[in-house]
Structure 1
Amino acid sequence: MTTARTIKRYANRKLYDTRDSRYVTLDHIAAMVRAGDDVKVVDNTTRADLTTATLAQIIFEEEKKTPRLTVAGLRKIIQGGMAALGGGLPTPPVPNGAPPPPTTLP
């Protein structure tokens, strides 16, 4: 069983990877998650779990760069809560390196 990689978030908003003993960015954490790493983000002072908020922030930042979600899909998530995700967001195939179309939720 693999242990989650712990990332500490400091008061100055810096993120520190305790396994590799280095500061990381949201892009680094996104790459870890894509690589299959289990990541846990904790507040260095309070030890509060900030993983969900950090992953949501990554989604927000990536959505600003390359919009993939539709307004209707986001409304469904807000209106229906997590049940609206229905097991996760679908990942459409990417033909010939083209950007994927916007994701729509059922």
Structure 2
Amino acid sequence: MPRKEPRAEPPTTPDGRYIVVDGRLWRRSNPALGPRQRALLVEVLMRARREVGRALRAGDAAAERGARERVHRAKVALGERGPPWWTDGAPDFNRHLVAGTPYAAWFASLTR
């Protein structure tokens, strides 16, 4: 079986708040989390994502809802959802298309 090429890291905004995937901003994890705490939360997140897949394959709507709730809670704990982890009052552009945000010029400069 051929080996997959390693994925390139997505670009990170200059302020470190977001990554850009397919032209959309996605909030990064809170950098104040310690490495152990972050690793534990990522483990919980990935376990919950696998549970979503199992529930979908089994057609178990109740299990899917529970697993999706665990995914959500892990993402909130990581700082990827819920209130922004920064404290300077800057708006949150999570899930916005980068072209409609203050990051548009920066992102356009990456592809020139």
When normalised by structure 2's length, the TM-score is 0.24
Q: Which has the higher contact order (CA 8 A, sep 6+)?
A: 2
Larger Cα Rg: Structure 1 or Structure 2? 2
Q: Which structure has the highest helix share of the two? A: 2
